[in-house]
Structure 1
Amino acid sequence: MRPTRSSSTTRTAKVSVAAGLAASLFALAGCSSSTTASSGGALKGNVRILANITPVLTKAYYQGLVAPFVKSHPGVTVTIESPSGTDVQSTLQQELVSGSAPDIVASNLDLVVAPQMTDFPDAAWVTSTPLSDSNKVDGKIWQVATGEQNQSLVYYNETAFQKAGISTPPKSLADFTADLGKLQAAGYVGLQTAGEWVTGAQFSMMANPALLGGDPNWYTERNAKKVAFAGSAYDTYLKAYAGWIASGAVPKNSVGEKYQDSIDNFLAGKSGMYIMGNWLNASVDSAKNLPFKVGVFPTPTVDGSVPKQMSGQAQPYSILKSSKHQALDLALVQYLVSDKTAVTTSLKSEGNFRAGYSYPGTALDAAVGSIVNSTPGSVNGTAGPGVNAGFGNELNTVVQSLYTGQSADQAAAKLDAWWDANAGQ
């Protein structure tokens, strides 16, 4: 019998690694195609969805997801749009400036864009969505999600571990570093990473449980200048990361690779470990003739204790205030986050969780579920209350600077300088 993923294991938190929008753009909301209603009150019109397109969440995926809704609403069409910039956030910025904003955004967004989004009603279908309270603004929900992701995970090549003489997955940061060296000596890339958004995201998945695990209000305290990145858990992990680059366990040209490259390299058996969220399960499970078995374990902690998981909303939706057909937008989003078939399809696509839902899963799904069951809790990430807009993007830039010779101390100082310059934004 195949293992079943049960979403009774959900935790609470919110994370985004996308960059924020400038406040000056908020007044530049664009126009959308209008919606008309027939005499019978039926909704009609074209809905433009700017979607987070990934190797798993393709245009075809979204088109299939909305197809039943479109079929049951004659006169309704849905256009799925890919980001034209580096990500959804930057594309939304461009479209707000040009006056061509979409109707719905299917992606995690920074809190800074909340004023541009329609507040969702205080209805059961809204408040029952995963982590609906995690990123409220002024008590209002502006983003609803289909499921929940867990992100502080390390996927590993079991064959590589055997050849490197590693009998059990590392728990402490010191053991993790030692195992990177063993993998390198065995002919593997120790830690698979990439450029684009991946570098900073992997760092936050690993370091945030340490930074926020014992002090969930750390960011708020940073705003009050009671703490600093220098000397914090971030400093510890930056020093470790810089050491991995210096030793060659993480190749210096890694930032030149794209996200898909990093997946392909790991699945080709070229690397020993790969830090990524549970959405990687879908890529692993769909791989043909995989030359090794993939295992998974929690990201390492400094002392080897069981870490909290950094987790966040999965496949969320927001509605632009500028949209000319709010009723249709709302009906479509309600369908996507509350229809049983649509929700189950969404959860299965990336191996996500949601209370009250279960579906047939793989051994890797079960392994992630076991990690979630045993974690002592969860943490927020690079977005959420107390986090300055754009921090995820800055963290990504700073971590990538380690590849070009900046020291860990300089990187931590740069984060502190950026935070002080952007306080309150």
Structure 2
Amino acid sequence: MRKWFALGMGMMMVTGLAACGGNSNGNGGSSGNESTPAQTANSSESKGTDKETVKDIEIVFQSWVTPNLTVEYYDQLIQKFESANPGITIKRIQPPANEGSPDSYLKTLLASGDFPDVVQNATIQMFVDADALLEIPIDEDIKNINNYEAEMIDGKLYNISAIRQPQSLVFYNKKLFAEAGIASTPKSWAELEAAAEKLKAKNITPLLTAGDWTAGFTFSVMTSPSVYKDNKSWYADRFDNKVKFTDENWKEAAGYYANLVEKGYFNKGALSIDYTAVEQEFLKGKGAMYPMGSWFSAAEAVAEKDFEVGVFATPTKDGTQYLLGGENAGGYAVAKNTKHAEEALKFAKFMMLDPEAHKGFLQADALFSNLKEPLKWEMSPLQTEIYELLLNNPPMVGHMNNKVGRVPVAGIQDQYNKVAQNILLGDVDVEKGMQSLDEYWDKNNK
């Protein structure tokens, strides 16, 4: 799951990208010495075709537009690709705003027979189950990605991604922490509650969240590290009925979160604002702590404010630092029934693996390269702090709708949202909420 970047940096970065030339062979990150099976087949078929036939190729691309990854960001990259690949036109489409992923939008398009040629940030398992995605050949480009095997489904790869994205982070306003007399960042649940109490005593809102996907995300990143640090294959075990959301560790974590809400530590009216608005609330100094993924640091880097922002790993019950996040997720996939497999695959590779596009994507959304020869970008002080957290922690696992041993049942993020929103509304029946997650899982486990 990914959210996303400030307009200023995005436009600045892609303006630079548009001025850069692509590889002469047009293969994105490819060395040009190897061809995929799809490329070999299609290139042999295309011999002897005239220019008019080539010019008819249109690739429909479902983009994921956010405050970080703007329309301008995508359109400049598309322009660069089209300039390097005459005869291929990219038609960009996008789902409605305020969704946690494009899954619902894509399901509608799939049912209507209008599934795009290239999709981005989809829940891959869901569309593999629907037989909608093309298997990605394992060529030299793919072999240059660390741990690409972990994203395979039944031994096949369907998603091109080469990023690491820490998500269980809490950003904090250093000025407000100082005003409340908080000398060190909290590591345990008890320390976070103590900090929140000090902030509230100074009439400072301790924690910020929002009512769209943000509610479920906040709930997940503030509870699941305490569960998943001790069981890095929790979702796999849930499929085998070895664990449940109604187990004591999950109920205790959810109870801790509900207690933060009950004590008034979250912003009033959280459910009436969305992700974009709550981000601005934090940047305006309206709250002291903001649980969010690394992508927020891109917005922070270009924001005008009179305070410094720091970051710490989401506290766990016992104070053990453990990050959750995504590795090689949220990338680009190709439709199985595309009429232009070679061109669609070339575009998907370009968007993730072309060196300048890859570097621009990392900086735009504050991500970290997962290539075997990682590409580096100029990080802000806050982003450097995140990178150090990433280096000093064990390998991440996912949470919410990301893999924890296995990818969870489709749509689980919506149920997380419902539980979190109910808690924000004052429903403190934690066991009932966690039971609803088990019921959703069992109903949708196919």
TM bracket, shorter-chain basis: 0.7 to 0.9
Give the C-alpha shift of residue 206 in structure 1: 2.8
- Stretch deviating more after TM superposition (59-68 or 413-422): 413-422
TM-score normalised according to structure 2 size: 0.83
What SS is found at the alignment partner of 2:368? coil
User: Share of identical aligned residues, percent?
Assistant: 28
Q: Is the 8 A contact 1:16 1:110 kept in 2?
A: no
The 3 A distance-change label for structure 1 pair 312 and 197 is farther
Does residue 410 of structure 2 align to residue 398 of structure 1?
no
Gaps of 5+ in 1: 1-14, 18-34
Given candidates 60, 78, 96, the residue that maps to 1:66 is 78
Does residue 291 of structure 2 align to residue 275 of structure 1?
yes
Give the C-alpha shift of residue 172 in structure 1: 0.3
Partner of 1:9: none
Give the C-alpha shift of residue 179 in structure 1: 1.2
- Stretch deviating more after TM superposition (150-159 or 132-141): 132-141
What SS is found at the alignment partner of 1:270? coil
Given candidates 357, 361, 366, the residue that maps to 1:351 is 366
Q: Is the 8 A contact 2:167 2:323 kept in 1?
A: no
Give the C-alpha shift of residue 301 in structure 1: 0.9
What SS is found at the alignment partner of 1:189? coil
What SS is found at the alignment partner of 1:134? helix
Q: Where does 1:159-178 land on structure 2 (aligned, <5 Å)?
A: 159-178=175-194
Give the C-alpha shift of residue 62 in structure 1: 1.0
> When you count strand as a share of all residues, which structure comes out higher?
1
Does residue 229 of structure 2 align to residue 206 of structure 1?
no
Partner of 1:93: 107
Does residue 96 of structure 2 align to residue 80 of structure 1?
no
The 1-side partners of 2:95 and 2:47 are apart by 33
Gaps of 5+ in 2: 4-42
Given candidates 371, 388, 391, the residue that maps to 1:373 is 391
Q: Where does 1:101-112 land on structure 2 (aligned, <5 Å)?
A: 101-112=115-126
What SS is found at the alignment partner of 1:230? coil
Q: Is the 8 A contact 1:157 1:273 kept in 2?
A: yes
RMSD of aligned residue pairs (Cα, Å): 2.2
Q: Over residues 1-33 of structure 1, what are the superposed CA-to-partner deviations in whole Å (9 max), with x where a residue is unaligned? A: xxxxxxxxxxxxxx679xxxxxxxxxxxxxxxx
Q: Is the 8 A contact 1:154 1:298 kept in 2?
A: yes
What SS is found at the alignment partner of 2:247? coil
What SS is found at the alignment partner of 1:393? helix
Give the C-alpha shift of residue 40 in structure 1: 5.9
Partner of 1:5: none
Matched positions, count: 392
- Stretch deviating more after TM superposition (54-63 or 65-74): 65-74
The 2-side partners of 1:41 and 1:358 are apart by 41
- Stretch deviating more after TM superposition (167-176 or 248-257): 248-257
Given candidates 304, 313, 319, the residue that maps to 1:304 is 319
Q: Which amino acid aligns with 2:378?
A: P
The 1-side partners of 2:252 and 2:326 are apart by 22
- Stretch deviating more after TM superposition (369-378 or 303-312): 303-312
Q: Which amino acid aligns with 1:408?
A: V
Given candidates 184, 189, 207, the residue that maps to 1:191 is 207
The 1-side partners of 2:119 and 2:134 are apart by 11
Partner of 1:28: none
The 1-side partners of 2:324 and 2:46 are apart by 46
Q: Is the 8 A contact 1:205 1:310 kept in 2?
A: no
Q: Where does 1:4-403 land on structure 2 (aligned, <5 Å)?
A: 39=48, 44=55, 45-84=57-96, 86=99, 87-114=101-128, 115-129=131-145, 131-288=147-304, 290-313=305-328, 315-354=330-369, 355=371, 356-382=374-400, 383-384=402-403, 385=406, 387-403=408-424
Q: Over residues 175-229 of structure 1, what are the superposed CA-to-partner deviations in whole Å (9 max), with x where a residue is unaligned? A: 1122122222222221110111111112222333222222122222223322221
What SS is found at the alignment partner of 1:78? strand
Q: Is the 8 A contact 2:209 2:290 kept in 1?
A: yes
Give the C-alpha shift of residue 315 in structure 1: 4.9
What SS is found at the alignment partner of 1:156? strand
Partner of 1:29: none
The 2-side partners of 1:40 and 1:71 are apart by 20
TM-score normalised according to structure 1 size: 0.86
What SS is found at the alignment partner of 1:143? coil
Give the C-alpha shift of residue 252 in structure 1: 4.8
What SS is found at the alignment partner of 2:206? strand
Q: Over residues 55-88 of structure 1, what are the superposed CA-to-partner deviations in whole Å (9 max), with x where a residue is unaligned? A: 0101110111232221011122212212137441
The 1-side partners of 2:383 and 2:353 are apart by 23
The 3 A distance-change label for structure 1 pair 131 and 233 is farther
